[in-house]
Amino acid sequence: MIDSEQVAEFMNNLVHPLKEEIEEVRKIILSTDDKITEHIKWNDPSFCYEGEDRITFNLNGKGFIRLIFHCGAKVKERKTNEPLISDPSGVLEWIAADRVMMKFTDKNDIKAKEEKLKEVITMWLKVI
C-alpha cells in the first residue's frame, strides 16, 4: 500500500470528535507545497518534505488537535539553541528550539489560523 492510501485508510477508520478539522488541516498542509508527502508515523498522519518527516499530527488532546513541527525522527546537532523560526504572532508553542507545536480547537480556529499555518509550514520546510 502506498503512503497516501495508508493515510486515506487511517482517516476512513478514524473515530475522533475533530475528524473534520483533522481533514481540513491535512488539506491545508498538502496544498502548501507540492513536495509534501504523507504517511502514518507514530500512529498518526505525518508529513514529509524531501523524504524527511517534518510535521506530525498528535491527536491525543482533549478538545483540540496538535501539529508538531520537527526536524525528523532523530535529534540533529545544532550550534545554537535559538528557535528555528520566528513567531511574532505567538500562535506557536515551543517544545524545544527545533520542535514546536500549533493547536487547533475547531473549524473557526482553523480558518483564523490558516494563513499563519501556511506561513509556518513554508518557513519550517526551509530551515533544514
Give me the average pLDDT of each 10-residue run along the chain (128 residues).
84 96 97 95 93 93 94 60 67 84 97 94 85
Residue count of the chain, please give it: 128
3-state helix, strand, coil in the chain (%, to 5): 35, 25, 40
pTM (2 d.p.): 0.87
DSSP 88: T
What φ, ψ does residue 40 adopt, rounded to 5°? -100, 125
Q: What is the pLDDT of residue 83?
A: 61
Q: What is the pLDDT of residue 93?
A: 84
Q: C-alpha grid cell for residue 111? A: 480558518
82 CB contacts (<8 Å, ≥6 apart)? 97
